[in-house]
Each structure stands twice: as structure tokens, then as C-alpha cells.
Chains A and B, each alone.
Chain A
């Protein structure tokens, strides 16, 4: 599903975000990317989303060579991915229902169909009563769940999450992880960038450990 082969990413001559990173992720797998700040976790997610381009090496995601993905292929490629951002990236001037439905109507569904499906997904993340609220009226944990609902509404093949529990208390973090586990059980490949080692240990999933842009460990629980 995801294959990185000696991938490097540089910003200028002396700023190397990733160096010779290689790993493979099977379809339906769930794994964590961990490491200190600046280790390269977010860079890997950005490369998979093609927000950034690879400097050296090759990477294949969902059957696409992302190094040679053209601008015309990019929208279709991204429609098979779901991304959850640390800062949620919700549109403040839209209700949470429309924030979630947007992902559907961009794929050509009617507003009615999109909103109907958004209600179903918001119900599954525990926000059925908040559909008419605006993002600023929700707590950080609730906003994160809206971001998750938006990412999963279109049933992506791969779900990427960048520090999804960054601003949440331990109980909410566990609740959120439970949500990711359920999504993964439905066959979605889930890649989570997190530095919350306690949480990662509790979930006993595969962990890629990064340090200064290098992959230093690929831990697979027995």
C-alpha cells in the first residue's frame, strides 16, 4: 500500500528533513510514526499527501509513484487518502456538518446526499447533536473528531493523522485511538504520527521510530 525506498527530503542544501528512509506498509495495517520534534514524522505524511515532493529516492502509494505524479493526477490521488491535521483545519464560517460534507460534494455528490452522510459519520464520532455548531463553538477534542469525520467520510484507502492527540487529555486520546482502531478494522490503512509514547505502547501496533530524519527502528509487536 505504501512503499518508501531510500527517500530523502531536503529544504535547501543543508536542511535535510529525511535521509534514506525505507519502509513498506501493507494494506489494512495500522502503524505509528514516532520521534522527537523535527524527527521527520510530519515530513513523511506530507510526502505521502504530496504536499511536499521527494528530493531523492522512490515512493509508491496506493499504486502511484508519487515522485512522478502530475498535477492532473494529484486530485484523484488525494481522493483516496484521508488526512487529519494537528490544527484541525476546519473552516470557521461553515457549520461542522458542512465542514464534513465538503469532502463528499467535492466528489460530485449532491448537497443533500453529502449532508445526510455527514450526519451519519458525525453520529459515529459522537457529534450527532452538534451538526449545526460552528468550529469555534466546539472543544479541541470535538474539533479533532470533526477532522476525523471529514477524513473518513469518503472511505479513503489510507488514513493519515498528524499528532491527532496533541492537544487532548489522556482519556480523550484513548477514545480517539479507539476510533482509529475501529476505522482500521474496516480495512483502512492507518498511519499516525505521534510522540505520545505511553499511548503508542498501550495500543501495541507497529511503530516506525525516526530521529533527525533517519529511520532508526521498525518495531513490530509479536
Chain B
């Protein structure tokens, strides 16, 4: 009887060979039960998709908010008796202010023409045709100007003797800001809820897989396998579930954004802005899928440690 098992591999070799086998074994295990694995991937994908959708909407709204903040303008209506020279002096005076990048004159004829073109307001204009509209100066704020600074400026200008009325409508901006903020909190809340669902669901799925391999795990333990060796294959399975679920969630998001494109365009155009929603950059996608894989790996780690210890 020749027993010739000498020269045991060193720990490093044992480690990477073990990972190599688990890397393949982790693929094989979900493939052994394709329908249940598909169900797991779809459920996980939905759990990743919903917070991802909210996060994407929040990112886009935030971007729009920034854009609209920078593109906002202040309308200054002059008193009817302000002459040409006074108006030019006022324009120069306004251009001296740090917060203002440009001052444009909108003549009363232009305002009337614009209002006449508006299908909802043209009838009103017909009635008040004889009303003498004031000239208007449109102030384009500097890019760095904040809403608060512009509001203060509007209050200061209101006191100017040549100015009749200053319009800086910040309400819509505040409403947008509130919606964005609500979306942000909703995203945070949904991330917590759906992550909990991911962990619970994965714990159940991995628990089932461990139960299905109970005899094999018990035997491996008796043959001297460490808990880490036994766990490894389940961790790779968790990792693969995360990658597949992340990719599916991404696909669902792309389909949703494509589906929402038309109504969103119509909505933003009604505000007079052209806006298209973006699904994130390539690096953001890579980060998202890495995060999905890490979350499911962590779920598999927690679940498998508990279940294997019990066997």
C-alpha cells in the first residue's frame, strides 16, 4: 500500500487554488437550478432598479435645478416717464454690479408682440391694446450668483427711482428645490428598504442552496475543509447574482428612461426648457454594478456564515 501524498501545497497556493475552484463552482451552482436562480436575479434586479430609478431622477432634477438657477433672470420694469438717457444710465449702473453679467432692453413693442403670439394671452392683449406697456430690462445674472443674492438685489432695485417693478420669481425654483429634496429623501429611504429586502431575500436563497448541499458540506467539514473553503463558493454565487442583477437593473432603467422620454420632453418644454434625462456615465455604471456585487457578496457572506455554522 503506497501512500504518497507529501509536499502539501503552501497556504498561498491553497488559497488561490481554492478561489479558482470556487470561481467556477460559484457559476455552476446557480446553473444547476436555472429557474430558481433566474427568479433570484429578477427579484434582486427589481430591488436595485427602484432606488436606482429614483437616484437617476434625483440626479437629473438636481442638474436641472442647477441649470435653471444659473439661467434665471430678473425682469426690471421701468417707470413710463423714464427717458432714453435715463434708461441708458440705468443700464450702465446695473452693469457695474458684480451679480449681473448682461443687461438687455426689451422694448414695449417686443413685449406686445410676444404676448400677441401667446394663444392664451392674445385675447387679453386685444382688449388692453391701448394700454401703454413699460419698457423692460432683462438682467442676466452672473453664473456664480445665488438665488438669495438675486433676491436681495431685486429688493434693492425696487427702491430705485426709475424702476417701477422688479420681478424675480423664485417660487418655482423653491418648489423645484423642494421636489428635488423630497426625491433625495425618498431615494435614501428606498435604498435602505430595498437593501434590507436584498439581504433578507439573498439570505433565504443562499440558505436554500446550503440546505440543498447539506450532505456535501457535512462531508467536507469531516474531511478537514475550513468554514472559509466551504463558504467561498456561495460567496462567488452571491457576487455573480449581484453582477447579473445590476446589469438587469441597468437594462430596466434604460428601457424606463426611453419610455419616459416623450412625456418628460413635453413637460419640460411646457416650462420653456429643452431637457433630456440621462442614465449616468460609464464610470457611474461600473461603480453601480460593483456596488451591487459587493452588496450581494456581503449578503451571501452573512447568510452562509450563519447557515454553515449551524450544520
Within 8 A of A (CB), among B221-247: 221-227, 229
B225 with A106: CB separation less than 8 A: yes
In the bound complex, residues from chain A placing their C-beta under 8 Å from that of B229 are: 75, 106
B21 and A109 contact, CB distance less than 8 A: no
A108–B14 touching, CB < 8 Å: yes
Alpha-carbon separation in the docked complex, A51 to B9 (Å) = 26
Docked complex: B196-224 residues within 8 A CB-CB of A: 215-216, 219-224
Given contacts A89-B219, A108-B13, A111-B21, contact A117 B226 (CB under 8 A): no
Is A78 part of the binding interface, using a Cβ–Cβ cutoff of 8 Å? yes
- Total interface residues on A, CB under 8 Å, equals 37
Nearest-CB residue, chain A, relative to B14: A108
Whether A49 and B222, one on each chain, are in contact in the complex, defined by CB atoms closer than 8 angstroms, is yes
Mark A74-98 against chain B: 1 for CB-CB distance below 8 A, else 0: 0111110101000001010000000
Number of A-B residue pairs at CB separation under 8 A: 80
A134–B227 alpha-carbon span in the complex (Å): 27
Q: Which residue of A lies closest to B228 (CB)?
A: A75
Distance A5 CA – B225 CA, assembled complex (angstroms):
28
B1 touches A154 (CB 8 A): no
From A78, A79, A107, A183, B1 is in contact (CB under 8 Å) with A183
Q: Are A83 and B8 in contact (CB under 8 A)?
A: no
**At the interface, yes or no: A102 with Cβ under 8 Å from chain B?**
yes
Whether A108 and B17, one on each chain, are in contact in the complex, defined by CB atoms closer than 8 angstroms, is: yes
B17-55 residues at the A interface, CB under 8 angstroms: 17-18, 21
Cβ B222 vs Cβ A154 within 8 A? no
A16 within 8 A of B: no
Task: Find A91's partner among B4, B15, B216 (CB 8 Å cutoff).
Answer: B216
Which of B1, B215, B226 contacts A124, CB < 8 Å? B1
The reply to whether B216 and A107 form a contact with Cβ atoms under 8 Å apart is: no
**Whole-angstrom CA separation of A49 from B3 in the bound complex:** 21
Main secondary structure of the interface of A (DSSP, over half): helix
Contact B222 A120 (CB under 8 A): no
Instruction: Write out the residue numbers on chain A whose beta carbons fall within 8 Å of the beta carbon of B96.
Output: none
B1 touches A185 (CB 8 A): yes
A13 CB, nearest partner CB in chain B, Å: 24
**Chain B residues with CB under 8 A of A78:** 221-224
- Complex: A51 Cα to B219 Cα, angstroms: 11
Look across to chain A and name the residue whose beta carbon is closest to the beta carbon of B32.
A93
Per-position 1/0 for B116-147, Cβ under 8 A of A = 00000000000000000000000000000000
A154 touching B5 by the CB < 8 A rule? Answer: yes
Shortest distance between the CB of B153 and any CB in chain A (Å): 70
Cross-chain contact A79 with B224 (CB below 8 angstroms) = yes
Taking a contact as CB atoms under 8 Å apart, the answer to whether A120 and B14 are in contact is: no
Contact between A107 and B224, CB atoms less than 8 A apart: yes
Max chain B Cβ within 10 angstroms of own Cβ: one of A51, A81, A105: A105
CB distance B222 to A155 under 8 Å? no
The answer, yes or no, to whether B2 is at the interface (CB within 8 Å) is yes
User: Known: A124-B2, A186-B1, A186-B3. Is A105-B222 also a contact (CB below 8 A)?
Assistant: no
Q: Does A153 lie at the interface of the complex (its beta carbon under 8 Å from any beta carbon of B)?
A: yes
- Decide: A76 near B224, CB < 8 A? Known: A153-B5, A154-B5, A155-B3: yes
Cα distance, A155 to B11, chains bound together (Å): 19
CB contacts (< 8 Å) of A106 on chain B: these are 220, 223-225, 229
- Smallest CB separation, B231 vs chain A (Å): 12
Give the docked Cα–Cα distance between A81 and B10 (Å): 20
Q: Is the CB of B21 within 8 A of A75?
A: no
Please tell me if A204 contacts chain B, counting CB pairs below 8 Å: no
B271 to chain A, nearest CB (A): 63
CB pair B21 A105 closer than 8 Å: yes
Nearest Cβ distance between residue B242 and chain A, in whole angstroms?
A: 26
Docked-complex contact A103 and B222, CB < 8 angstroms: no
- A117 vs B3: C-alpha distance when bound (angstroms): 9
Taking Cβ atoms with an 8 Å cutoff, the residues of A that contact B are 49, 51, 71, 75-79, 81, 83, 89, 91, 102-111, 117, 120-121, 124, 150, 152-155, 179, 182-183, 185-186, 188
If A108-B15, A110-B17, A121-B3 are given as contacts, then 6 extra A-B residue pairs at C-beta distance below 8 Å, sorted by A number, are A79-B224, A102-B223, A105-B17, A108-B8, A108-B17, A183-B3
